[in-house]
Amino acid sequence: MIDHYGWSDALARDFEPHARAGYRPGRVIVQRRSAFGVATDQGELRAKPSGRLLHEAGEGGVPVVGDWVALVPNPSEGLATIHAVLPRRTAFVRRAADSVQTLQVIAANIDVAFVVTSMNADFNARRLERYLAAAWQSGARPVVLLTKSDLSDAPQALADQVMALAGGCPVIVVSARQGVGLDAVRAHIAPGETCVLIGSSGVGKSTLVNHLSGEDRMATQAIRENDARGRHTTSHRQLFRLPDGGLILDTPGIREVGLIDAEEGLGVVFDDIERLAEACRFRDCGHANEPGCAVRGALENGALDPERWASFQKLGQELAAVEDKAERIAREAERRRQLSLQKAYRTTKKDLRGA
């Protein structure tokens, strides 16, 4: 059964030490409030991380959907225990809502990230860049899907425009309504590979998932529409198999992941700008008034779209602000730690003198 979830020789090698310790492999396919659902060779098991794993793993080590784990099935209790999370090949992360210094992994081991944006009036190049940056940063291969081509008068013109800003990743024109492009989408998901669809609300992700999975997931939608809190997600598998042997991971958290920071991805999506900057006369060129600035040159002769430049700067500033804040918080925590150490130290000295 785990073969259907992407188990491979490479994973089996990673797993060897765990196998020797008597653990079984499994892949997390759903995260519920009470427990994880894990696909194993003995079928789907309910599972919880061991106390030790929770204690030692810290924020990033808690299993998420898509993770491969080492577990002990306890058939009598009906609840397996997860003892380890295998190294992640790729991971989508975001900063925790309550603290900028905590990175939260929201999905793991994604091979292909379909960045979905629709071709109707809502098309927004800047938003697309953000989703792309997040996809690159995760380590997955990004593929842009331009949906609802039936609503566009000139789909190919928009596709060309998108190709120019998508940093060399594939761009596919899709219409679920007319059945356009679906085979091209399927061709990007090899058997055993896992994909996600990310993009803003309403661009057509659910519709595509329905078409790709070939099963009628309309029930899901009906529940979704009736339930503002999106309770439907708890009753469905979040990682599921496609007819051609691929897998889709679909959790509420992953869908709009692009709206968070994506520092490394920035350089890939804005590769043209990075290359321009390398051609500036001064290494530390601020692209303001320096002589021999290639970025300003490109802006002046029209080779660089001013909006694209503004978007790059804005994202860069946002990232810098987030990082500054994270650093400040870390420094403050360290200062407090030092203070309490000093206090403890003084107390000890006093105690010693008193003795």
Ligand X SMILES: Nc1nc2c(ncn2[C@@H]2O[C@H](COP(=O)(O)OP(=O)(O)OP(=O)(O)O)[C@@H](O)[C@H]2O)c(=O)[nH]1
CB of 26 to ligand X, least distance (A): 28
CB of 2 to ligand X, least distance (A): 29
Known binding-site residue numbers for GTP: 147-150, 199-207
CB of 5 to Zn ion, least distance (A): 48
Using CB distances below 5 to 8 A depending on partner kind, what does residue 287 bind out of Zn ion, ligand X, none?
A: Zn ion
Using CB distances below 5 to 8 A depending on partner kind, what does residue 285 bind out of Zn ion, ligand X, none?
A: Zn ion
Binding-site string for ligand X from residue 118 to residue 157, where x marks contact by CB under 6 A and - marks none:
-----------------------------xx-xx------
CB of 276 to Zn ion, least distance (A): 8
Binding-site string for ligand X from residue 190 to residue 229, where x marks contact by CB under 6 A and - marks none:
-----------xxxxxxx----------------------
The verdict on 232 binding ligand X (CB under 6 A) reads no
- Find the binding residues for Zn ion in span 272-311 (CB under 5 A): 280, 285, 287, 293, 295
Using CB distances below 5 to 8 A depending on partner kind, what does residue 280 bind out of Zn ion, ligand X, none?
A: Zn ion
Question: 247 to each of 132, 183, 235, how far by Cα in Å?
Answer: 21, 15, 18
* Cβ-based burial of 9 (10 A; exposed 0-12, middle 13-18, buried ≥19): exposed
Question: 42 to each of 2, 26, 39, 71, 80, how far by Cα in Å?
Answer: 9, 9, 8, 12, 11
**Residue whose CB is less far from Zn ion, 252 or 292:** 292
- Report which DSSP code applies to 140: S
> At 112, which helix (H) or strand (E)?
strand 112-118
Instruction: With H, G, I as helix, E, B as strand and everything else as coil, classify residue 24.
Output: strand
Q: Is the dihedral of CA 12, 18, 19, 23 positive or negative?
A: negative
How is the chain split among helix, strand and coil, in percent rounded to 5? 45, 20, 35
Distance CA 86, CA 249 (A): 18
CB of 207 to ligand X, least distance (A): 3
The residues of the shown chain that bind ligand X, judged by CB under 6 A, are 147-148, 150-151, 175-177, 201-207, 255
